[in-house]
């Protein structure tokens, strides 16, 4: 098991944003987290990545208790992430954006520049590596952000709504890329609203509602769970 949480809780004042959430993620899985807006998905991911320290509960990364570790330490141990709102460094080139990941992560590269080029190819970044990120559209920024996260040498990648904002035509290639990342030896936890992505990609899924986990299981189990259908899937465009 690469990641395990036990009873994680995070409050904002009187609001319990994440309530007693326990998940277990196996190495090599694509593990989805779904739920309505405001369900606590991003906050939960932030508790895993070290952006927040949970007020209750534990986070184990490869059996090591990493609860409360800051993000840079998590990154050094082999965990990386992307953001719900894509965050490139706008004034830096595509090449340098990715190189930042290689500089701060856990990867030990013989030749960093070669690795950056390899990763830009791997994510099928379509433009010259010398163009600055301010010129990129959403899908280009998403590919760039994935390359930057991978440049850290991570073994666990946390994705927050990575498919949001993509056109239906862009989705299949992107799903293939996420699977290629997993096949390269990186376990993935992804928050997602796009059901085509969730059902096409995920091995297992956890469902959060009002901060609490109401179910987890295979995509099929989740789709057929009446509680999940009532709380979430009923109101979601599954096409
Ligand atoms: N920094 C914060 N301060 C106060 N409240 C917050 C903060 N971050 C999140 N919240 C609240 O915590 C709850 C969970 O928010 P969160 O962003 O984790 O939900 P989410 O499931 O990611 O939603 P979405 O699908 O819209 O991204 C919401 O009620 C939100 O308003
Ligand atoms: Mg969110």
Query: What range defines the domain where residue 93 resides?
Result: 80-154
Whether residues 44 and 161 fall in one domain: yes
Q: Measured from the CB, is residue 41 less than 6 Å from ligand 1?
A: yes
Helix (H, G, I), strand (E, B) or coil at 133: helix
Whole-angstrom distance, CA of residue 173 vs CA of residue 187: 19
- Tell me the C-alpha to C-alpha distance, in Å, between residue 40 and each of 30, 115, 123: 19, 35, 29
What total of structural domains would you count in the chain?
2
| 146-173 tens-digit pLDDT | 999 999 999 999 999 999 989 999 999 9
Which of 91, 160, 88 lies closest to 125 in space, CA to CA? 88
| 59-115 tens-digit pLDDT | 999 999 999 999 999 999 999 999 989 888 999 999 999 999 998 877 778 899 999
Whether residues 46 and 160 fall in one domain: yes
Which of 78, 96, 80, 77 lies closest to 88 in space, CA to CA? 96
Q: Measured from the CB, is residue 14 less than 6 Å from ligand 1?
A: no
Compute the distance from residue 33 Cα to the ligand 2 centre, in Å: 10
Which amino acid residue places its CA nearest to atom 30 of ligand 1?
Answer: 38
**First-to-last CA distance in the chain?**
32
Please give the pLDDT value at position 236.
Answer: 54
**Domain-located, residue 150:** yes
Residue found under tokens 């004042």: 13
**Domain-located, residue 195:** yes
| 107-127 tens-digit pLDDT | 778 899 999 999 999 999 999
In the chain, what percentage of residues exceed pLDDT 90? 85
Please give the pLDDT value at position 84.
Answer: 87
**Domain-located, residue 183:** no
Q: Give the pair of three-digit tokens for residue 1.
A: 């098991």
Whether residues 133 and 161 fall in one domain: no
Q: Give the pair of three-digit tokens for residue 222.
A: 């989740």
Whole-angstrom distance, CA of residue 95 vs CA of residue 198: 30
Residues paired with residue 55 on neighbouring β-strands, in sequence order: none
| 23-64 tens-digit pLDDT | 999 999 999 999 999 999 999 999 999 999 999 999 999 999
Whether residues 224 and 147 fall in one domain: no
Which amino acid residue places its CA nearest to atom 28 of ligand 1?
Answer: 38
Whole-angstrom distance, CA of residue 131 vs CA of residue 166: 22
Whether residues 138 and 161 fall in one domain: no
Compute the distance from residue 49 Cα to the ligand 2 centre, in Å: 14
Helix (H, G, I), strand (E, B) or coil at 76: helix
Whether residues 57 and 160 fall in one domain: yes
**Domain-located, residue 138:** yes
Whether residues 161 and 236 fall in one domain: yes
The whole model's pTM is what?
A: 0.94
Compute the distance from residue 33 Cα to the ligand 1 centre, in Å: 14
CATH number, domain with residue 237: 3.40.50.300
Residues paired with residue 59 on neighbouring β-strands, in sequence order: 5
| 195-226 tens-digit pLDDT | 888 988 999 999 999 999 999 999 999 999 99
With the most atoms of ligand 1 within 8 angstroms of its CB, the residue from 32, 34, 42, 48 to mutate is 42
Contact 203, 218 (CB under 8 A): yes
């Amino acid at each position: 098991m690469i990641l395990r949480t036990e009873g994680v809780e995070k409050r904002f004042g009187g609001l319990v944003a994440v309530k007693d959430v326990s998940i277990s993620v196996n190495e090599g899985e694509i593990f989805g987290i779904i739920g309505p807006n405001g369900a606590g998905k991003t906050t939960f991911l932030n508790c895993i990545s070290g952006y927040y320290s949970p007020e209750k509960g534990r986070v184990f990364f490869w059996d090591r208790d990493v609860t409360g570790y800051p993000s840079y330490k998590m990154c050094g141990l082999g965990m990386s992430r992307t953001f719900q709102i894509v965050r490139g460094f706008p004034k830096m080139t595509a090449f340098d954006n990715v190189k930042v990941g290689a500089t701060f992560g856990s990867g030990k590269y013989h030749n960093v520049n070669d690795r950056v080029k390899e990763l830009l190819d791997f994510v099928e970044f379509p433009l010259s590596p010398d163009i600055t990120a301010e010129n990129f559209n959403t899908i280009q920024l998403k590919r760039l952000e994935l390359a930057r996260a991978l440049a850290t040498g991570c073994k666990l990648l946390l994705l927050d709504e990575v498919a949001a904002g993509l056109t239906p035509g862009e989705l299949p290639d992107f799903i293939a890329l996420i699977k290629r990342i997993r096949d390269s030896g990186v376990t993935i936890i992804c928050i997602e609203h796009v059901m085509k992505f969730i059902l096409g990609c995920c091995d297992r899924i956890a469902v959060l509602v009002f901060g609490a986990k109401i179910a987890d299981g295979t995509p099929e189990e989740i789709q057929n769970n009446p509680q999940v259908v009532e709380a979430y899937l009923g109101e979601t465009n599954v096409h």
